[in-house]
Amino acid sequence: MKKSQKPIPRHLNDFLDWLEIEKGLSSKSQENYARFLKRFLDWLRLNKLENIKPHQLTAEQVWKYRTFLARQYTSKKYAFKEKKTLQKTTQSYYLIALRSLLNYFADRDIISLPAEKIKLPKKTDMRIVNFLNLEQLEKLFSSPDTLKINGLRDRVILEVFFSTGMRIAELVSLNREQIKLKPETKDLEIVIIGKGSRPRTVYFSEKTIDWLRKYLETRKDKEKALFINYKNKKGSSRRLTARAIEKSIKKYAIMAGLPLTTTPHVMRHSFATDLLEQGVDLRTLQEFLGHKTLAATQIYTHVTSKRLRDIHRKFHSDGKLKE
């Protein structure tokens, strides 16, 4: 182990390289870590600690930084309302980034405060998961005008979201060559590269394949992307963007009279919720969703808890034992 003579802020670029090479994180994830660490580096500067070395950082200073986070306000403007402090979950993101920096120091044999010295705020409430039930999904699926080329494309996108549980970044990166359909094809599975560059298999239902086949029959272009924008200027990329998909889903949600909170990620939640309601266990769902840990999948306990309660009522209700 060695003492680094470089101040902590000057380790940032090497830390981001470590996230890419050693942890295999995407450029987007690296951007998020850099953004969360920036607040810590700003705090160091405010407290005239910008020249502090890794081995000089103390548990007391980390405690003061935690106090600083707990008393920060969100950047959102609340007209005529009391300003809101950062949620516990958001505070945790900043602290997780700092813990990762300390783990980087340990991995590079640089003396620093152990990462386990940084405690995360205790969760005070369960994360709320928004999802659509089957009736709402049918209304959403019926909203696009499939007689128009862009409406047919949008219907396919909705079907693919619900059939596969893909994240929006995974869906927009799909290419036509990945969808190999033969006349007799009734089910399809492909391997995609998901979050954290982790490969996983996703599955297309027979219904989704039928819609994909109709859509692909209309494609006379040579574009590589599976989903394209029909309004792009000549010469520019025609691959449909995540922002365009988000806007179209919001439009169809309004048309169907569904909550404005309907987003691509709500479609992913709906996929997960439907599987759980059909009896799929959390560990299997973890594989379907491509979660790195089971803890990430446990946000869906609203479904498992309800199912367990219903089972308990059915098989262990009052009055089954005779006095």
Question: Is 237 found in the same domain as 178?
Answer: yes
Tell me the residue range of the domain where 58 lies: 8-76+84-117
Question: Is 110 found in the same domain as 176?
Answer: no
Closest CA to 203 of 218, 222, 190: 190
Question: Is 240 found in the same domain as 153?
Answer: yes
Separation CA 317–CA 136 (nearest Å): 32
Question: Is 197 found in the same domain as 64?
Answer: no
What angle (nearest 5°) sits at the alpha carbon of residue 233, between those of residues 228 and 235?
Answer: 85
Question: Is 306 found in the same domain as 172?
Answer: yes
- Residue 255 domain flag: yes
The CATH number that applies at residue 53 is: 1.10.150
- Residue 318 domain flag: no
- Residue 317 domain flag: no
- List the pLDDT tens digit at each of the 323 positions of the chain: 899 999 999 999 999 999 888 888 778 788 889 999 999 999 999 999 999 999 999 999 999 999 999 888 765 554 444 567 788 878 888 999 999 999 999 999 999 999 988 887 765 545 567 889 999 999 999 999 999 999 999 999 999 999 999 999 999 999 999 999 988 888 899 999 888 788 899 999 999 999 999 999 999 999 999 999 998 777 778 999 999 999 999 999 999 999 888 999 999 999 998 888 888 888 898 999 998 888 788 777 666 555 556 655 665 555 554 44
- Residue 256 domain flag: yes
pTM above 0.95, yes or no: no
Question: Is 146 found in the same domain as 89?
Answer: no
Catalytic residues: 167, 195, 265, 268, 291, 300
Our count of domains for the chain comes to 2
Question: Is 166 found in the same domain as 42?
Answer: no
Question: Is 139 found in the same domain as 36?
Answer: no
Structure tokens at 237: 């990329």
- Report the 10 Å Cβ neighbour count for 202: 21
Question: Is 167 found in the same domain as 99?
Answer: no
- Residue 94 domain flag: yes
Question: Is 108 found in the same domain as 177?
Answer: no
